[in-house]
Amino acid sequence: MVSSLAYAQGGSQTTTLSGLVADAQRAVIPGADVVVRNNATNAESRAVTDAKGDFVVPGLAPGTYTLTVSLMGFKTFVSPDVKMLAGTPETVKVTLQVGAIEETVLVTGATEIM
């Protein structure tokens, strides 16, 4: 008698984006709105930073996302090319600059990964 065992290989098909939002003096920013938009599907996920300036956006499908962080009294932060891989959580650090929310700081290139 021959027996064969099959082991399930797999893992999560989604991932999590988390991060810290602070100002230029490294003071954490609670209450900031975080929007993560899938560039291919336009599906959005949202979060708000907690008292420590942290946010977590779980359940993201693999792909490229636009990260937008805003709060009254600060310029809006936009990073259009945040790449997410299945089962590989990413962590970013966002620095908001003082200014009007109508002003936008567009980040080109890589977002700082912590």
pLDDT digit string, tens, across residues 2-52: 444 443 445 569 999 999 999 999 999 999 999 999 999 999 999 999 999
Q: What percent of the chain has a predicted confidence (pLDDT) above 70?
A: 77
pLDDT band at 99 (very low <50, low <70, confident <90, very high): confident
Degrees to nearest 5, angle at CA 47 with 45 and 49: 155
How far is it, in rounded angstroms, from Cα 56 to Cα 17? 6
48-77 residue pLDDT tens:
999 999 999 999 999 999 999 999 999 999
Place of tokens 């962590």: 91
Task: Please state, as a whole number, how many other Cβ atoms lie within 10 Å of the Cβ of residue 41.
Answer: 9
Average pLDDT of the chain, as a whole number = 86
Which of 103, 111, 97, 106 has its CA nearest to residue 27? 97
Question: Would you state the pLDDT for residue 107?
Answer: 72
